[in-house]
Chains A and B, each alone.
Chain A
């Protein structure tokens, strides 16, 4: 019975430490909200702008890496840029990136990663 009690207390201790760790030492759990918005250049020679909303529903905070891609629909060739964003717990941020690409028909793709590479 004594051993069972100590095992139970140990398990509760481990669960408490795990809970505190997740609560205070976690990084963000980012994900992209909705579809990315593609803005074509206002004038020829200017870059495209891709805009996305990144949300962090998790309890942690930290820096995330957002990778933007413009994929040419006809050839599949991609132009890419990267941005860093700092996310607080429960926060949503709008991240905008400029990609220099020739005029064409593009499909925007956005990927968010944590931890940043």
Chain B
């Protein structure tokens, strides 16, 4: 996977705790900006409705295009409305004298979601030195309290959040930290999440079944590793726990924001539809909401800019 795609699309906040905090801030701002721009778009279309309908008719563009834009703006506004509300909640609850009080105020605004768990599967098994094949847990907590628990069982990462719904980005963060730790130990292994259960439930279970089959077969045969693995030392696990502690502040804020995780596909039609004989495409298993909402902002802002330019300097249309 390209480093740019990983850093900007899939896992924008996974490098370290500072990145994670920046990502949460960016996500909160993105929801507010997307909501505001969508509402402005709807307002402009309503305010200059006659102008745009005439322009659409005279330039041989279907008036339905305007309805499409209304639906697009409406959809994005409804998608970003919970995030906008969450961003204001974060702002309101972050106003306290000291750090501990701020954390408690943030925590008290969220409720546990029963049975919630965020699951992803890695390309490698993670084991702790001296306990091959054994699962292990890492507590995600800081001085203000526990935020959740990470359970690692072979290639499967499971995060159970105490407040709100856990985000996939926590697991992306774990993936990057594990890779950094094993590389610091001298390994050159790539540690990648290959499937996200919240995005592809069936695919995740299929992959998990295959990994478990390999692990069981390995135990039966007892003759070397069948699936690639990385081994963490107990000191690495302690360091992982410390690094997870460092993101707890961000997790409390992130719990107020919706997690719109999607797969993404970028298509470049060489011969466009209706022939569509050649189309270049590239897909990502997961695009982080901070990136997808950022992309949506670019699209909405561009459409708004075109609408405003059309109002200020209407395009030429043929005479009657």
> Is there contact, CB below 8 Å, between B320 and A61?
no
> Is there contact, CB below 8 Å, between B314 and A27?
yes
Minimum C-beta distance from B302 to chain A (A): 9
Q: Given A18, A61, A84, A117, which contacts B309 in the complex, CB threshold below 8 Å? A: A18
> Is there contact, CB below 8 Å, between B313 and A62?
no
Separation of A117 and B317 alpha carbons in the complex (Å)? 11
Q: Given A58, A61, A86, A115, which contacts B313 in the complex, CB threshold below 8 Å? A: A58
Contacts of B57 in A (CB 8 A): 117
Q: A115-B55, A115-B58, A117-B54 are in contact. Are A27 and B309 (CB under 8 A)?
A: no
User: Is the CB of A26 closer than 8 A to any CB of chain B?
Assistant: yes
User: Is the CB of A90 closer than 8 A to any CB of chain B?
Assistant: no
User: Is the CB of B272 closer than 8 A to any CB of chain A?
Assistant: no
Separation of A59 and B315 alpha carbons in the complex (Å)? 11
> Is there contact, CB below 8 Å, between B314 and A29?
yes
User: Is the CB of A13 closer than 8 A to any CB of chain B?
Assistant: no
Contacts of A18 in B (CB 8 A): 305, 309
Contact with B along A38-75 (1 / 0, CB 8 A): 00000000000000000000111111000000000000
Separation of A18 and B316 alpha carbons in the complex (Å)? 14
8 Å CB contacts to B: which residues of A87-117?
113-117
Separation of A77 and B57 alpha carbons in the complex (Å)? 30
User: Is the CB of A33 closer than 8 A to any CB of chain B?
Assistant: no
Contact with B along A1-38 (1 / 0, CB 8 A): 00000000000000000100110011101000000000
Q: Which residues of A contact B (CB under 8 A)?
A: 18, 21-22, 25-27, 29, 58-63, 84, 86, 113-117
> Is there contact, CB below 8 Å, between B320 and A116?
yes
Q: What are 28 residue pairs bridging A and B, where the CB atoms are less than 8 Å apart in the complex?
A: A22-B309, A25-B316, A26-B313, A26-B315, A26-B316, A27-B316, A27-B317, A29-B314, A58-B313, A59-B313, A60-B313, A60-B314, A60-B315, A61-B316, A62-B317, A63-B320, A86-B319, A113-B54, A115-B54, A115-B55, A115-B58, A115-B59, A115-B314, A115-B317, A116-B319, A116-B320, A117-B54, A117-B58
Contacts of B316 in A (CB 8 A): 25-27, 60-62
Minimum C-beta distance from A38 to chain B (A): 26
Contacts of B59 in A (CB 8 A): 115
> Is there contact, CB below 8 Å, between A84 and B319?
yes
Contacts of B317 in A (CB 8 A): 27, 62, 115
Of all chain A residues, which has the CB nearest B8?
Answer: A3
Separation of A7 and B58 alpha carbons in the complex (Å)? 35
Of all chain A residues, which has the CB nearest B59?
Answer: A115
> Is there contact, CB below 8 Å, between A62 and B309?
no
Contacts of B313 in A (CB 8 A): 22, 26-27, 29, 58-60
Q: Given B54, B305, B319, which contacts A62 in the complex, CB threshold below 8 Å? A: B319
Contacts of B319 in A (CB 8 A): 62-63, 84, 86, 116
B58, B59, B313, B315 pick with most chain A CB within 10 angstroms: B313
Contacts of A59 in B (CB 8 A): 313
Contacts of A117 in B (CB 8 A): 54, 57-58
Separation of A113 and B59 alpha carbons in the complex (Å)? 15
Given contacts A115-B59, A115-B317, 19 further A-B contacts (CB under 8 A): A18-B305, A21-B315, A22-B313, A25-B316, A27-B313, A27-B314, A27-B316, A29-B314, A58-B313, A62-B316, A84-B319, A84-B320, A113-B54, A115-B54, A115-B314, A116-B319, A117-B54, A117-B57, A117-B58
